[in-house]
Structure 1
Amino acid sequence: MRLLFILFTILIITIEAADILPNTTLSASNLNSKWSSPNNTFSLSFLQLDPTNQSSYFAAISYNNIPIWKAGADTVNGGAVDISGELRFLSNGDLQLISGSSGSVVWSSGTVNRGVSSASLDDNGNFRLKNDGTGMCYIKQPNFVSGYQAPTLPSTSFLKICGPAMPNPTAVSETVQEKNGGRVPGWVVAVVVVASVLGLILLEGGLWCWCFRNSSKFASLSSQYALLEYASGAPVQFTFNQLQRATKGFKEKLGAGGFGVVYRAVLANRSVAAVKQLEGIEQGEKQFRMEVATISSTHHLNLVRLIGFCSEGRHRLLVYEFMKNGSLDKFLFSEDHSSGRLLNWEQRFNIALGTAKGITYLHEECRDCIVHCDIKPENILLDENYIAKVSDFGLAKLINPKDHRHRTLTSHVRGTRGYLAPEWLANLPITSKSDVYSYGMVLLEIVSGKRNFEVSEETNQKKCSLWAYEEFERGNMEAIMDKKLSNQEMDMEQVIRAIQVSFWCIQEQPSQRPTMGKVVQMLEGVFEIDRPPAPKATEGSFAGTSLNASSTSGVSTFAASAPAPSSSSSFQTAGFLSSASAMNVERQSSSLLHSEIK
């Protein structure tokens, strides 16, 4: 008994040693100071995201030095403070992130005067504020669960630690032992063992019956908590087994793209989702989580929302919100002209405008410019109200808009047949203007209902963009319009505006193309649109090729010092390179023509 008491005392001392007491402070000026979990797997400390920016310090919880949560992520500055910022655990029980320059409170745990006496970071990554037994950490209400824990639903939790209700009674075995001179009769041992076994059996049976009767209630509560977690906006980390069950073994395939296959799934909250099983992702755990964090931080009406992810072993999966009406290509190019499958002009124009707004957000309104690299109708999804939502964004490497001299893309950035900008084949810098080119091709398809790379008798055996410009020059807008819309009323001013914008977007020179912000303004009629120059057949014999930009090192580097395309240059294979570049393209053509075809 003494030995057990000593071990128990040591255990208590060890646990209490990990507690964080009030009036404790972490400072951004000392990046080595941190609050760690007992096994040092998790830590709470300040991190500097940009060494050149003195106002880029964040208080974050890290898992093996990988940030998984930061304080004040939903604030205006995203929780950023300068080098004099502090994270204070105050005597009133509140945890506050203070901006050093202004002294203002950037973020607070909101636990003032709730009896919080200490805090700790446990080995599961939960930062717990502990109650001393005198205050209320939470308000308990009827028919509500006051605490919930599940490995699939990680969240911040507040624990109320209560003192003992009564002294520990003397053990039965110890009392009997004193009365019998230190010896325990055999019948006592037998009675205790039998009673214990019977008690456990009865307890287990009672719990089983009770759980069986209330299983529907628990399922409902579990769904409610799962729904709250998904609605919070933070990406949920799923296990591979969970997604395997949700997709019924990856049976119901919704589609496939350059980054993997998409399956239909039903999550724990009974909501339908789309699970993309990524292929060819060679990134490690840290890099993958960083890109997931970037994707999940982008919120816009015209972007598909990321619900969660899975990063387990070699498995890399992303869970998106489900779009009831599928992708745009099913409506534009389908032979089924029945009711509900034909988009009228108003719907098409709103889809074009919404798509432009979504891409504008990626290019101009995110902290880092996100170049999509694969804009096409298959990546434009429609919800139940036919609102356009761009998908598959962020799967390409982020491109820093401040660095105009040197830009890199990962080896798995892929373009698609008919939507590749000329700079892809010329090995020139890939910028946001490359997305503008792809959008222009999509816009022309929305107007005409024809695949831009297909040739037919209707287009005089010419590429759709060249044929459409010839009809535009003749003033024959009706010929360009989708024949399925011939009996519908249309705003011809909008039609002409959309056609002109598409021609400006697919100009050979990136400098001649407008930004996506300008595209939105032109579509909305904010200013007059100049007459666009004629587009060129820049893809030539490469028009049927789907590229996977790669190099032997795994990263293709595009330098701005490469020769810019000349409007007067001519080359039979690509149609836009100078003669000095012809030999280089000819050497690359054999490998390009064997690339993956979408």
Structure 2
Amino acid sequence: MALLLVLHILLIHLDFSSSLTIPLGSTLQASNLNHSWSSPNSDFSVSFVPAVSPGSFLASVTFSGGITIWSAGAVDSGGSLRLLRSGSLRLIDGSGATVWDSGTESLGVASASLDDSGNLALLNGRNMTVWSSFDHPTDTIVQSQNFTVGKVLRSGSYSFQLLQTGNLTLKWNNSVIYWNQGLNSSFDSNLSSPSFVLQSNGVASVFDSTLSTAAIAVYSSDYGEGDNVFRFVKLDDDGNLRIYASTRGGQTKTPRWAAVMDQCQVFGYCGNYGICTYNDLGTICECPSENFVPLEVNDMRKGCRRKVELEDCRGNEAMLDLMNTRFLTYPPEVSSQRFTLGVSACKFNCLAGSFCVASVPMSDGSGYCFLKPPGFVSGYKNPSLPSTSSIKVCKPGMPNPSLATAKKSDKRQKLHVWIIVVVVIATLLGLLVLEGSLWWCCCRDCNQFGTLSEQNSFLEYASGAPAQFSYRELQRCTKQFKEKLGAGGFGTVYRGMLTNRTVVAVKRLEGIEQGEKQFRMEVATISSTHHLNLVRLIGFCSEGRHRLLVYEFMKNGSLDNFLFSADSGKLLNWESRFNMALGTAKGIVYLHEECRDCVVHCDIKPENILLDENYAPKVSDFGLAKLLNHKENRNRNLSSVRGTRGYLAPEWLANLPITSRSDVYSYGMVLLEIVSGRRNFDISEETNLKKFSIWAYEEFVKGNTQAILDKRLETDGTVVMEQVTRMVRISFWCIQEQPSQRPSMGKVVRMLEGIAEISIPPTPKALAEVSVSGQNKNSSCYISSSMVSTSARCLPSSSSSLTAEMSSSASRRNAGGTSSLNET
């Protein structure tokens, strides 16, 4: 293993790819943006690009499409980047002053090169690297770039570093650590020379010779997806570290992971005394009260200043309460600012001492109170925060108008408002009564009137668009929602019959409070997703607070009614079970790899696999994970993407990105249930009081696959044990703890069909830790909203080899010593 790690590091440091040779004396002019030094594959170039400030230009290495991955600095239009004959690479502005220099003069530099990975290097006469942009990064790390201890990404006051312990840290002003990502708890050792590397599949790992395998630090939400995707890590000027993805030739970069989930918890984001909060458009910055004014009105991120300094009002100070607000406190401030005080005592001590400008009682049961000293104060406001912080001001304390307008309004103004409201409401009620009376007199017996919109809806349906129904129409066709077919995480389903005698399933959605436009867009996306093994969406209703979806009716209900039923008349033979497993997998493959937008289902389970009149399986409820109230969830930093006990992948509970591989885990559990006819989380005497999935793996290792098979099929002559063994192996590959070790659904289909080889899977470590929370099988699990990717852009995936690190890791974990899965 040590040899593999040495080879990995050598491959990073030794460049075997082709590179462009740039001779001494070469120059790029800021006035000529079309002149550049390009890599042999034309993906990267050294050139000047327009900077943020008007009239200035950035000397940079850029990826195809204009994405900057390294920069030397900005100059005016008279500036130039020169590779001097003395060996230095120097950036000079129009006045001739040096803006940046590589510091390599007299070190024997003979040329420069730009290789196909984007590394700009200065080489000596023996073609050895003297200086390189990869060793001196600015704010970006690209795929396969080796980021080691001592290197720093910087953006304004923010910096990102890898510590000797293997931890990843974000700092403000080189002092306050506001994000610290440690290694997996299973890696508990001192590291010798750790390196942080973003791999091409979107997995960022920490390598070290003391680790038996790479420690996966973070996942990009689209990891493993797409063959033409360029990913990079960037420290943005807002202090957040993100992984971005971009296609070659495109200028759009899409964020796929962020270190700090809540942007307002980035220290100093809104400057000194600035308070970060949210509106409908995202983060905004404001001053604590009217006792403060912005430093720059046009840039609230610069912070605020006091109208009257505390030194100018000694003896006349007051503590002004700020509801749902917390002043951020991170290491190393914690030890010097934390006290155990009650709320009143916390405020009084701050008011009485000149050492304090704000008090922050945590209000979380800890009893801690933070007293903020004079200096830099960074605030965060959220309706979900229980804290009421207080800030010291010169009297009188003046709350923000946005918080105190109602209090400042006098009774006469309130009375005028109420009069206007009453008049408007009375007028509207009068118009409604008049309109209702006219309809009652003229149209109550007109049958055509009630079916007109429904007929128009069927014209839309025939054209391929989702039909739009009124709430009243769906009430009528379901007989006031009388015949209930079932209920799930997103709502209740009722049987209905349209005017053309078509039987449908009407789902009343719950917890869906999106705006009209966004809801219709999501419905259009779902309705355009057509596959033999997907339930088709016929139409919808979006009327006031009512949100309903109309689906084709599945005569035989859901798969769980057959798998777990004691009714012998519902027993599925082996051929049917195998076909259902294969058809379900094909439906999920379409969602993940073949439709225009990659759709992660988030709730694969037998209840969401429906059977038509021919017992063909169809996946339902796909795309519903996006139809949720993101505004509310953003305020509480949660997402209502729901999963079901027993089918949740470990990343749901470990605060890791939710991707298509999360669906693979759920499908693996369903596959095990199709074989066994038992819930994967069932516990019985037969399984020695262990979860069935754990017991099943133990029997599988013993070679007793027959024990896992549904006992009701023992007399069924259609059982093909080769298929049983194949499905059991696939299920245990699907439920591996590490998402990168699970196969893609396309690979699962090929394995089910016998096209792809299936090696013996290693022990699924996560079986004992996940999916055992309570007894309600429909219990929901919530996860951080930025971690879910339900409609990330994706292209059909082709088979590719697992990385060497993942394959070797799976091999080591394999109790039987066999090789791991060959392709994802």
Q: TM-score range by the shorter chain?
A: 0.5 to 0.7
Equivalent residue in structure 2 for 1:437, among 665, 670, 683:
665
Change (3 A) 1:456 1:426: same
Q: In 2, distance between residues paired with 1:240 and 1:549?
A: 30
What letter matches 1:547 in structure 2? S
Structure 1 counterpart of 2:780 = 547
Structure 1 counterpart of 2:715 = 487
Counterpart secondary structure, 1:427: coil
Structure 2 counterpart of 1:476 = 704
Structure 2 counterpart of 1:371 = 600
Change (3 A) 1:324 1:422: same
Structure 1 counterpart of 2:563 = 332
What letter matches 1:293 in structure 2? A
What letter matches 1:318 in structure 2? L
Structure 2 counterpart of 1:316 = 547
User: How big is the shift at 1:258?
Assistant: 0.4
User: How big is the shift at 1:461?
Assistant: 1.3
The answer to whether structure 1 residue 428 and structure 2 residue 656 are counterparts is yes
Structure 2 counterpart of 1:239 = 470
User: How big is the shift at 1:390?
Assistant: 0.2
Structure 2 counterpart of 1:259 = 490
Q: In 1, distance between residues paired with 2:567 and 2:616?
A: 21
- Counterparts of 1:252-401 in structure 2, within 5 Å, are 252-338=483-569, 341-397=570-626
Q: Is the 8 A contact 1:447 1:499 kept in 2?
A: yes
Q: In 1, distance between residues paired with 2:712 and 2:536?
A: 32
Change (3 A) 1:467 1:280: same
Structure 2 counterpart of 1:515 = 744
Change (3 A) 1:313 1:220: closer
User: How big is the shift at 1:335?
Assistant: 1.2
Same amino acid, percent of matched pairs:
74
- Counterparts of 1:191-270 in structure 2, within 5 Å, are 229-270=460-501
Change (3 A) 1:319 1:223: closer
Q: Is the 8 A contact 2:650 2:770 kept in 1?
A: no
Q: In 2, distance between residues paired with 1:542 and 1:480?
A: 20
Q: Is the 8 A contact 2:694 2:767 kept in 1?
A: no
Structure 1 counterpart of 2:342 = none
The answer to whether structure 1 residue 530 and structure 2 residue 763 are counterparts is no
Change (3 A) 1:238 1:226: closer
Q: Is the 8 A contact 2:659 2:788 kept in 1?
A: no
Structure 2 counterpart of 1:20 = none
What letter matches 1:433 in structure 2? R
Change (3 A) 1:410 1:227: farther
Change (3 A) 1:292 1:470: same
Structure 1 counterpart of 2:18 = none
Q: Is the 8 A contact 1:281 1:412 kept in 2?
A: no
Q: Is the 8 A contact 2:664 2:734 kept in 1?
A: yes
User: How big is the shift at 1:225?
Assistant: 7.7
Q: Is the 8 A contact 1:427 1:558 kept in 2?
A: no
Change (3 A) 1:223 1:368: closer
Q: Is the 8 A contact 2:557 2:611 kept in 1?
A: yes
Structure 2 counterpart of 1:156 = none
Q: In 2, distance between residues paired with 1:265 and 1:506?
A: 38
What letter matches 1:423 in structure 2? E
Over residues 519-555 of structure 1, what are the superposed CA-to-partner deviations in whole Å (9 max), with x where a residue is unaligned?
000000002211111222445375135334256xxx4
Change (3 A) 1:320 1:423: same
Q: In 2, distance between residues paired with 1:557 and 1:475?
A: 38
TM-score, with length taken from structure 1: 0.53
User: How big is the shift at 1:412?
Assistant: 2.2
User: How big is the shift at 1:457?
Assistant: 1.2
Q: In 2, distance between residues paired with 1:539 and 1:287?
A: 40
Q: In 1, distance between residues paired with 2:621 and 2:771?
A: 24
- Across the two proteins, how many residue pairs are aligned to each other? 338
User: How big is the shift at 1:459?
Assistant: 1.4
Q: Is the 8 A contact 2:454 2:473 kept in 1?
A: no
Runs (5+) with no aligned partner, structure 2:
1-64, 66-442, 628-636, 790-805, 811-824
Q: In 2, distance between residues paired with 1:251 and 1:412?
A: 28
User: How big is the shift at 1:474?
Assistant: 1.9
Structure 2 counterpart of 1:446 = 674
Over residues 386-438 of structure 1, what are the superposed CA-to-partner deviations in whole Å (9 max), with x where a residue is unaligned?
1000000001139xxxxxxxxxx982210101000000000001110000000
More strand by share: 2
Over residues 417-469 of structure 1, what are the superposed CA-to-partner deviations in whole Å (9 max), with x where a residue is unaligned?
10000000000011100000000000000000010011111212111122111
User: How big is the shift at 1:231?
Assistant: 3.8
What letter matches 1:359 in structure 2? I
Over residues 128-178 of structure 1, what are the superposed CA-to-partner deviations in whole Å (9 max), with x where a residue is unaligned?
xxxxxxxxxxxxxxxxxxxxxxxxxxxxxxxxxxxxxxxxxxxxxxxxxxx
User: How big is the shift at 1:491?
Assistant: 1.2
What letter matches 1:483 in structure 2? K
Q: Is the 8 A contact 1:255 1:261 kept in 2?
A: yes
Change (3 A) 1:493 1:483: same
- Counterparts of 1:58-207 in structure 2, within 5 Å, are none
CA RMSD of aligned residues (A): 3.1
More helix by share: 1
What letter matches 1:307 in structure 2? I
Q: In 1, distance between residues paired with 2:751 and 2:783?
A: 36
Structure 1 counterpart of 2:108 = none
What letter matches 1:452 in structure 2? N
What letter matches 1:549 in structure 2? Y
User: How big is the shift at 1:222?
Assistant: 10
Structure 1 counterpart of 2:734 = 505
Equivalent residue in structure 2 for 1:496, among 711, 717, 725:
725
Counterpart secondary structure, 2:494: strand
Change (3 A) 1:558 1:446: closer
Structure 2 counterpart of 1:132 = none
Q: Is the 8 A contact 1:224 1:269 kept in 2?
A: no
Over residues 90-125 of structure 1, what are the superposed CA-to-partner deviations in whole Å (9 max), with x where a residue is unaligned?
xxxxxxxxxxxxxxxxxxxxxxxxxxxxxxxxxxxx
Q: In 2, distance between residues paired with 1:412 and 1:427?
A: 14
User: How big is the shift at 1:492?
Assistant: 1.2
Q: In 1, distance between residues paired with 2:642 and 2:456?
A: 38
Q: In 2, distance between residues paired with 1:397 and 1:226?
A: 24
What letter matches 1:272 in structure 2? V
User: How big is the shift at 1:557?
Assistant: 4.0
Q: Is the 8 A contact 1:323 1:381 kept in 2?
A: yes
Counterpart secondary structure, 2:539: strand
Change (3 A) 1:393 1:383: same
Judge which range, 384-393 or 540-549, deviates more. 540-549
Judge which range, 237-246 or 540-549, deviates more. 540-549
Change (3 A) 1:432 1:342: same
TM-score, with length taken from structure 2: 0.39
Over residues 232-260 of structure 1, what are the superposed CA-to-partner deviations in whole Å (9 max), with x where a residue is unaligned?
32100100000010111111100000000
Runs (5+) with no aligned partner, structure 1:
1-51, 53-207, 399-408, 569-598
Change (3 A) 1:541 1:436: closer
Judge which range, 467-476 or 444-453, deviates more. 467-476
Change (3 A) 1:557 1:468: closer
Counterpart secondary structure, 1:396: helix
Over residues 184-238 of structure 1, what are the superposed CA-to-partner deviations in whole Å (9 max), with x where a residue is unaligned?
xxxxxxxxxxxxxxxxxxxxxxxx9xx99xx99x999999887665343210010
Q: In 2, distance between residues paired with 1:231 and 1:483?
A: 46
Q: Is the 8 A contact 1:306 1:319 kept in 2?
A: yes
Change (3 A) 1:312 1:383: same
What letter matches 1:526 in structure 2? I
Structure 2 counterpart of 1:461 = 689
Q: In 1, distance between residues paired with 2:507 and 2:602?
A: 18
Equivalent residue in structure 2 for 1:419, among 619, 644, 647:
647
